[in-house]
Amino acid sequence: MSILSKIKELASSLLKSKAKDEFNIEVISSAETEAWVEECINTYMGNPCWIDEEEHIDSVNFAKAICSETARLATLAIGITVDGSSKAKWLQEQVDKIYFQLRHWVEYGCAYGTIILKPNGESIDLYTADQFMVTHISNGKIDGVIFPSFETYQNKWYTRLEYHRFENGLYVISNKCYVGNSPGDTKERVDIELTPWAELLEEAAVEKLDAPLFAVFRTPHANNIDLHSPLGLPVFSEAIQELRDLDIAYSRNAKEILDSKRTVLADDSMIAFSGEKVPQGALAAQKKAAAMNLPEMVRMVRGDGRETYYQEINPELNTDTRLKGINALLSQIGYKVGYSNGYFVFNEKNGIQTATGVEAEQQRTIQFIKDVRDKLESCMNELIYAMSVFADLYDLAPAGTYEVTYDFADITYSFEEDRQHHYQLAMQGHFPWEEYYVRFLRYSREEAKALLKMAKEENKAPTLFGGDE
């Protein structure tokens, strides 16, 4: 078992057992939500509970495909710009460093229902729903959390509980550390100076903070397992039954194809080397068939009497019928997740291809992705705020204000239609040709200016009749 797997296994029990004793608090937990999220995560990881080797039922891991596609659309050509001051420039640099992680973070958020992003001074730590414990909520937002950390040093296991909360107008972070001989061993308390986190304070407080020093991404779906739980649900949680049915249908189809090999049944008297005596007995025939290196589809059998026997078996597949059932399941799964009917279909060109006629057909998909983008934007605002506070606390950047703007690509966007539209505008004098060259013909701004200048000069050159063209 990997260290990460051990952390996931131990985090929940560790926090529950230690939080009340060490911090004198009650953690906010929901056994029902935790169990359901765990079942969904097993499905996302390709190991759902319905896999059955004896029944030849495997998983196509479509839950992973759903989360991946949702993350792809939600972060499609995303642009995050931070302006306003020298601090804003520093914040922009930090955002640029994590830009290519955004899609992964959104996918994990869609899979777990809730993730937390927390700056550590050097990078961003990711905590999935099974790696933290909520201790307080204000106005529906999580603002009190305990985060576990695990490290090994000199053959010892170290555990740290990092407790974030607001207390008497201050934002307080407390650290409790333990040392042991195995992961999750918290019997022996140890001073933080004697651990791998010696550079941290055992407790620190910050004044005048408007939000926690962490960011929460939660899926837009409401939690119908526990209405009072602060955790969201995986985006595919409502379609678990259909995902099971899809795996069964796909496995049945795959098994039918596997069993559909063409078979030739031939009497052993019909197969022998030239001039050789026909082998006698079934065992002898099998040995002779192996020695002759016959095609796998040929099976030697004993005929009835003197009659020779030859028969070809070509099983007829029900693939078309099965695919109709699979596509019906895919459509139902997509609808329950939030996609428009027919977004997920096998063996058909489907989905968003051009803007013409798509917005009406894919309106449900568009709204769902917008909801996910709104959650991502809220999470990034919280994360950028936390990084801004870190910059002030550790003098990482000059003091100053900042403003964040987001730019998301239209998921119905068609480059060719956009190019044609702007070409017509340029022909009518309503769009600059320089901008057209840069945006749609991929010239640099300098190249575009040079080409337009050259064209203008050639158009002014004298003609054969002495005038200008």
Q: Give the per-residue pLDDT at 280.
A: 55
pLDDT over threshold 50, residue 204: yes
For residue 220, pLDDT over 50 is answered with yes
pLDDT at 278 over 60: no
**Tens-place pLDDT, residues 45-89:** 999 999 998 888 999 999 999 999 999 999 988 999 999 999 999
Looking at residue 74, what is its pLDDT?
94
Predicted pLDDT of residue 352: 41
Q: Higher pLDDT residue, 324 or 274?
A: 324
Confidence of residue 288 (pLDDT cuts 50, 70, 90): low
The pTM of the full predicted model, rounded to 2 decimals, is 0.78
pLDDT value of position 83: 92
- Spell out the SS3 assignment of the chain: CCHHHHHHHHHHHHHHHHHHHHHCCCCECCHHHHHHHHHHHHHHCCCCCCCECCCCECCCCHHHHHHHHHHHHHCCCCEEEEECCHHHHHHHHHHHHHHHHHHHHHHHHHHHCEEEEEECCCCEEEEECCCCEEEEEECCEEEEEEEEEEEEECCEEEEEEEEEEEECCEEEEEEEEEEECCCCCCCEEECHHHCCCCCCCCEEEEECCCCCCCEEEECCCCCCCCCCCCCCCCCCHHHHHHHHHHHHHHHHHHHHHHCCCCEEEEEHHHCCCCCCCCCCCHHHHHHHHHHCCCCCCEEEECCCCCCCCEEEECCCCCHHHHHHHHHHHHHHHHHHHCCCCCCCCCCCCCCCCCCCCHHHHCHHHHHHHHHHHHHHHHHHHHHHHHHHHHHHHCCCCCCCCCEEEEECCCCCCCHHHHHHHHHHHHHCCCCCHHHHHHHHCCCCHHHHHHHHHHHHHHHCCECCCCCEC
pLDDT digits (tens, 9 = 90+) for 222-268: 999 999 999 999 999 999 999 999 999 999 888 877 776 766 666 65
Which pLDDT score, from 0 to 100, does residue 181 have?
A: 85
> In this predicted structure, what is the pLDDT of residue 252?
87
pLDDT in the model for residue 378: 96
Averaged pLDDT score across all residues of the chain: 83
What is the pLDDT at residue 306? 45
Asked if pLDDT for residue 166 goes beyond 90, the answer is yes
Instruction: Please report which confidence band the pLDDT of residue 287 belongs to, taking 50, 70 and 90 as the band edges.
Output: low
